[in-house]
Each structure stands twice: as C-alpha cells, then as structure tokens.
Amino acid sequence: MLETSSKPARRAVERIPMLAKTDPTRLTVALAESLTLRAFIKPITFGGKLWVTYEFMKFVKRKSDEGTTEKMAKKKNKVASVSLSLR
C-alpha cells in the first residue's frame, strides 16, 4: 500500500519547492503517524475541554453570585433606609 501512495505523494512533493529534496515515502509515513496519533488523542482532549469549560463556568458563576450578593445587600440597605424615612 505504501508503494501505491508513493506515486501521488511524489507528484505532490514535486509541486512544492521546499519539499523537493524530501522522500515522499517518509512524508507519507509521517502523515499516517500524525493522523493516527490525533485520532487516539481526540477523545481525551474532547473530554478535557468539556471538563475545563465546566470548571470555568462554575468559577464565573461563583464570582457573579458573589457580586450579585454584594449588590443586593447594598440595594436592601438603601431600600430599608428609604422605607424608614417614609414612615
């Protein structure tokens, strides 16, 4: 199979001057290794991204709740003082 993939790789390599001196078979093997590694890592990185996003959203929510609590406490104090002055 490597011999059959070598012909299209050789043609593609000839079009790129920077790769003109490289071995098309070596490039084909490197591509296959890269694609295989990415395929094995993808489930791990996807789960990791979900976990990091979940933790980040918990952090943001906690920070926004703290800010909301402080604002509500200030508003309650203002409302209480206004209602006392109206009586």
Structure tokens at 3: 């011999």
Residue 5: the pLDDT is: 62
Series of mean pLDDT values for 10-residue runs along the chain (87 residues):
66 77 82 93 91 93 78 58 51
Residue 54: the pLDDT is: 94
How many other β-carbons are positioned within 10 Å of the β-carbon of residue 28? 19
Tell me how far apart the alpha carbons of residues 33 and 35 are, in angstroms, rounded to a whole number: 6
Q: Which pTM was predicted?
A: 0.47
Residue 71's domain spans which residues?
Answer: 2-86
Residue 3: the pLDDT is: 63
Residue 77: the pLDDT is: 55
Residue 37: the pLDDT is: 95
Q: How many domains does the chain have?
A: 1
Q: Output the CA angle 19-24-26, nearest 5 degrees.
A: 105
Structure tokens at 37: 């590694």
C-alpha dihedral over 62, 66, 69, 71, to 10 degrees? -130
